[in-house]
Structure 1
Amino acid sequence: MVWLDYPKAAVMPRILRRSLCRTLLRERVFGGNKERPADWFRSDHPAWSAWSQHATRRSEIERRTRDPRFAPLHVIRFDSPRQADTWFRAL
């Protein structure tokens, strides 16, 4: 399993840029839906959920990687985009 365990400072600009582009360009997302400016104020918007749930999700994944049920998984954890890119280019 490859775990991209990036800090919030790396994740948030990507999410904000992606959502802003989808909103401004009216790009289709899941099920043909489109992001609207009003969606940015909803608690389930990707930007809000990424911001508020980052630490919780990180802790949950960390806990699961130590769970004996998942012991057969080999976990490769990267804490920066540069680390992941270096690894990927070496493949």
Structure 2
Amino acid sequence: MLGADDPLPLRPRRILVAGVSGSGKTTLAGRIADAVGSPHTEIDALFHGPDWTPRPEFLDDVAALIAQPAWVTEWQYTAVRAVLAAEAELLIWLDLPFRVTLWRVVRRTVRRSRRREVLWNGNVEPPLHSMLTDRDHIIRWAIRTRRKYPALVAQTAAANPGLVVVRLCSQREVETWLRALASSASR
């Protein structure tokens, strides 16, 4: 596993960004895509259909995505994690402190809910009070799943020996790593 200061052994074309809700996966995936000149596909947009139902085309859309020579996406959804990892060259694991990710997911959720921001396929965040009744409300999900990534990343790295894994543990490390990636991509 590499850190923020370690050089990459390859120029990646197929990249995954992993982390708990609120870690900044989508933001970083977009920034990586810009740095390396690869398209970014937001995996939530492939998964969520109207009324937060899974899209029936999800698996086919992911298969089409990974068939491309270059891509960047978030590493989410149990149904596709293994196939994404098998085709990826690089997995960035955002392992930020829980206090940081919880603050981010709460702030984002409150903003989206209050503004009634339209997300994927016409969906909007549910009312904030639903956090008290919905076990899978995004804030409760973030709290409940915050400890799953260490084992998940380790298992995935073991199952995919060619997959380069970079673990970033702070926003400073994210910025350091991204600068190095952009610098190497411009050469």
Structure 2 length-normalised TM: 0.44
1:10-33 Cα offsets, whole Å, 9 max, x none, are 211111111000100000122211
TM-score, normalization by structure 1: 0.85
Pair 1:12 & 2:135 matched? no
Segments of structure 2 that go 5 or more residues without pairing to the other structure are 1-90, 183-187
Higher strand content, 1 or 2:
2
Which structure would you say has the larger RCO, counting Cα contacts within 8 Å and 6 or more residues apart? 1
Shift of 1:82: 1.1
Amino acid at match of 2:164: H
Identity across the alignment (%)? 29
1:84 equivalent to 2:149? Answer no
Q: Secondary structure at the match of 1:75?
A: strand
1:39 to 106, 112, 130: 130
Moved over 4 A (4+): none
1:70 aligns with 2:160: yes
> Cα deviations across residues 29-66 of structure 1 (Å, max 9, x unaligned)?
2221111324323111111111111102332223322x
Structure having the higher helix fraction is 1
Number of equivalences: 89
**What residue identity is the alignment partner of 1:55?**
R
CA-based RMSD = 1.5
Distance of 1:75 and 1:30 partners within structure 2: 29
